[in-house]
Homo-oligomer: A and B are copies of this chain.
């Protein structure tokens, strides 16, 4: 997974993160290079998987997704089969935006975006009916102080 990235690559990535709709010429000018080398570097980084999906960030509130929960999960089951099913469920559910397996006494954390508390409860009921879970704590977000996809470069 380790990939050689030099200063010029970092500058290009930074520009792309900031605004991927910029033209090649514009990016080239800002990073102090010209079109072809910038284009070649971008192509290489896409092939290597450093650069992934190109997307737009939507406003969840405007789309009626007004509730955001962080869900802390403890489980008693640690068998492979149980885990497979659990992971599949999480990946299939579009309201699960993030899922991590953790070190320590909490086993998993999820970030879940839904319309409202009732929609969260529906998700929760569906989840626990599909897989056995020992303990669940839901943390309700009152205010999104910060939310960014921009990685520090």
Contacts and interface: CB of A to CB of B under 8 A. Distances in A.
| Residue of A60, A68, A99, A145 ringed by the most chain B CB atoms within 10 A | A145
B19 A145 contact: no
A100 B70 contact: yes
Interface of A: 1-3, 5, 13, 16-21, 48-65, 68, 70, 87, 90-91, 94-104, 106, 108-109, 111, 113, 139-153
A19 B65 contact: no
How often does this chain occur in the complex, in copies? 2
A56 to B, nearest CB: 5
B151 A13 contact: no
B140 A104 contact: yes
10 contacts: A1-B62, A13-B63, A21-B54, A55-B55, A63-B153, A97-B151, A98-B148, A99-B146, A100-B141, A101-B143
B48 A52 contact: no
Given A87-B145, A101-B145, A145-B87, A49 B20 contact: no
B61 A52 contact: no
A151 B55 contact: no
Nearest to A52: B57
A149 B1 contact: no
